[in-house]
Amino acid sequence: MRWIPKDSITVVTGASSGIGRCLCELLLDRGATVVAVARRAERLADLASRECPGKLIPVVGDVTDADVRTEILAAAGRVDNGRLDLLVNNAGIGAIGPFEDADEERLRRIMEVNFFAPAELMRHAIPMLRRGRASVICNISSVLGHRAVPDKSEYCASKFALHGLSDSVRAELARDASDGNSIQLTLVSPSTTRSEFFDSLIGSDAETQSKSIGSWPPAKVARATLSAIESRRSEVILSLAGKALVYADRISPPIVNAILAR
Ligand SMILES: NC(=O)c1ccc[n+]([C@@H]2O[C@H](COP(=O)([O-])OP(=O)(O)OC[C@H]3O[C@@H](n4cnc5c(N)ncnc54)[C@H](OP(=O)(O)O)[C@@H]3O)[C@@H](O)[C@H]2O)c1
């Protein structure tokens, strides 16, 4: 069974830039209805102005606000009697710098955006996804949700939490398989992506740069994400460097610790 974009009803958070924006464009081009969520209204208006076979429904707001999450699902529910075929939890933020030097606010904000908001959106979307066609929840994590690195402690914690939650909920949803319509949960773990992500770091030194080996443009991450959704994969680690980091860590954490320490 494959997930088919044409005539699907979808929700994508973090739709105003980077991976989320590119994914919305792909879905719209393939005839999906997309409820696109972000705080920057003008960016969503720009997305809505594109010529495409699909339909865009913008919801302007902060995913950490429970009322906004209710509005997102209400907007999707109005399209076809409360049916939803795809939820993409993509909105995310980061920070760089030692844990010791930061404050509680940085930790709480990152956990709210990257973990609690997608968790609650997922919980409330499940009944609607049960009415969908080959439905998928796609949670955008990171290779840093598999292997933690220094100076990104809050971000790693949030993506590890999303990873653990996703594995558990996927197993719960698989219990519905007997009725032939279980929801798949696809965890996508990109490596460094050349988006606006590093321009909007919170509680971080303005001069801070992220060190990484190789990086992908957001359009490539979006194409790989859509492919994982269409084939209803459980989990994908996207880049070769990301796979190398994760699998080396599984084989020998001390070797990876030594490399990262340098
Ligand atoms: N960039 C990387 O290197 C990288 C690597 C691995 C994983 N990821 C993950 O990929 C996802 C997308 O990131 P990206 O690289 O595409 O970054 P991006 O260009 O900065 O996009 C982030 C999106 O999230 C939205 N957003 C942030 N906080 C929000 C909030 N409170 N409420 C609603 N929307 C919010 C932003 O929109 P507004 O500001 O308009 O609200 C924006 O559309 C994130 O989950 C990130 O953790 C990124």
Take atom 47 of ligand 1 and give the residue whose Cα is closest: 92
Number of other CB atoms surrounding residue 130 within 10 Å: 17
Spatial contact of 95 and 155, defined as CB atoms under 8 Å apart? yes
- Long-range pairs for 51-60: beta carbons < 8 A, 24 or more residues apart: 52/25, 52/28, 53/28, 53/29, 54/27, 54/28, 54/29, 54/30, 55/28, 56/24, 56/28, 57/33, 58/15, 59/35
- Please tell me if the CB atom of residue 196 comes closer than 6 angstroms to any atom of ligand 1: yes
**Sign of the dihedral through C-alpha 109, 115, 97, 202:** negative
Best of 12, 19, 34, 200 for a ligand 1 pocket test (most atoms within 8 Å of beta carbon): 19
Q: Which helix (H) or strand (E) holds 5?
A: none
Q: Is there an atom of ligand 1 within 6 Å of 140 CB?
A: yes
Collapsing DSSP to helix, strand or coil, 78 comes out as coil
Q: How confident is the model at residue 212 (pLDDT cuts 50, 70, 90)?
A: low
Is residue 79 within 8 Å of 129, Cβ to Cβ?
no
Distance in angstroms (rounded) separating the CA atoms of residues 157 and 145: 7
> What does the pLDDT read at residue 79?
98
Question: Is the CB of 93 within 6 Å of ligand 1?
Answer: yes
Q: Which atom of ligand 1 is nearest to the CA of 114?
A: 45
% pLDDT > 70, the chain: 97
Residue 134 has pLDDT above 80, yes or no: yes
Query: Which of 73-82, 146-155, 213-222 comes out lowest in average pLDDT?
Result: 213-222
- The answer to whether residue 181 scores a pLDDT higher than 80 is no
What average pLDDT does the structure give for the chain? 95
Give the sign of the dihedral formed by CA 120, CA 76, CA 16, CA 66. negative
Residue 251 CB contacts under 8 Å (≥ 6 apart), including other chains: none
**Tally of residues, the chain:** 262
pLDDT of residue 137: 98
Looking at residue 102, what DSSP letter applies? S
Domains of the chain: 9-261 (3.40.50.720)
Q: Over the stretch 75-115, which tens digit does the pLDDT of each residue have?
A: 999 999 999 999 999 999 999 999 999 999 999 999 999 99
Output the CA–CA distances (angstroms, integers) from residue 31 to 1, 34, 194, 223, in the order listed.
Answer: 19, 9, 27, 16
Catalytic residues: 141, 155, 159
**Closest C-alpha to ligand 1, atom 20:** 197
Q: Is the pLDDT assigned to residue 138 strictly greater than 90?
A: yes
Q: Which residue has the tokens 């902060």?
A: 62
pLDDT surpassing 80 at residue 214: no
What are the b/e assignments for 101-121, b being 16+ CB within 10 Å?
ebeeebbebbbbbbbbbbbeb
Q: Please work out whether the CB of residue 218 comes within 6 Å of at least one atom of ligand 1.
A: yes
Q: Which residue has the higher pLDDT, 242 or 208?
A: 242
User: CB of 11 closer than 6 A to ligand 1?
Assistant: no
